[in-house]
Amino acid sequence: MEAYKQEFIEFMVESDVLKFGEFTLKSGRKSPFFMNAGAYVTGSQLKKLGEYYAKAIHDKYGMDFDVLFGPAYKGIPLAVVTAMAFSELYGKEVRYCSDRKEEKDHGADKGSFLGSKLKDGDRVIMIEDVTTSGKSMEETVPKVRGAADVEIKGLMVSLNRMEVGKGGEKCALDEVKDLYGFETGAIVSMAEVVEYLYNRECNGKIVIDDSVKAAIDAYYEQYGAK
């Protein structure tokens, strides 16, 4: 496993973004782990987060893209910090764009988007925190494709939960890929998290011991993507 992935796993635990216990998800599933990207709140956390996203995007998609698109609301800071990190790490200027939930009907920046305008020929990477059902893509992909003649190169999320999406067989990232015809990726998958953290001390304690590992295994027995 790449060093930045190992660092990112520790970073999620230290930032209290990835927690283990018992959580009821929006879907109603009872999960032994929970990820809340809203817990990245400080300047140094956001700077690091942008760097991890930039490294993962560079690994998966290279440099051949023009725009980072972050769906409102959580995707907005992700697109901004990752664009900054790309400039710093790779010397490449990429633009950021996000959608508005409510259209703005006045001022120089009126319309449905924040940041850069999308232009014909733009190559776009979508960026999100986590995709459990792919619902946000249902709303944003048509918006992005409707704004200009763009090519969506792919989607990058921070964690692939690796559980079945709405179709009941594949994980949400694979469903998005099949539905919209672009690549999908994650900084880390839950399998990598478990492999790295199992019986390893992180932030002063072992967060995945035998009992937590058993609960995660049981969860994937029931909800894991085929």
Catalytic positions: 104, 106
* CA distances from residue 103 to 73, 114, 163, 165 in whole angstroms, order as listed: 14, 10, 34, 30
Describe the chain by its helix, strand, coil percentages, rounded to 5. Answer: 40, 30, 30
Q: How many CA atoms within 13 Å lie on the side-chain side of 118?
A: 28
Q: By C-alpha distance, which of 90, 112, 94, 100 is closest to 153?
A: 94
What whole-number distance in Å separates Cα of residue 210 and Cα of residue 134?
Answer: 31
- Using CB atoms within 10 A of its CB, is residue 221 exposed (0-12), middle (13-18) or buried (19+)? exposed
Helices (H) then strands (E): counts for the chain: 7, 10
